[in-house]
Amino acid sequence: MLEGCILAVSSQSNSTTTSNSVPGAPRRISFAKLREPLEVPGLLDVQTDSFKWLIGDDEWRRKAAEDVSAGDDSPKGGLEEVL
pLDDT in tens, the chain (83 residues): 555 555 555 555 554 455 557 888 888 888 888 888 878 778 898 899 888 888 888 888 888 888 888 877 766 666 776 66
Q: Residue 41's pLDDT is what?
A: 79
Q: Is residue 1 part of a domain?
A: no
State the chain's maximal CA–CA distance in angstroms: 75
Q: Is residue 74 part of a domain?
A: yes
Q: Is residue 70 part of a domain?
A: yes
Q: Residue 53's pLDDT is what?
A: 84
Q: Is residue 51 part of a domain?
A: yes
Q: Residue 74's pLDDT is what?
A: 66
Q: Is residue 27 part of a domain?
A: no
Residues with Cβ < 8 Å from 56, sequence gap 6 or more?
77, 78, 79, 80
Q: Is residue 2 part of a domain?
A: no
Domain range spanning residue 49? Answer: 43-82
Q: Is residue 61 part of a domain?
A: yes
Q: How many helices (H) and strands (E) does the chain have?
A: 3, 2
> What's the domain count of the chain?
1
Determine the 3-state secondary structure of 31 from DSSP. helix
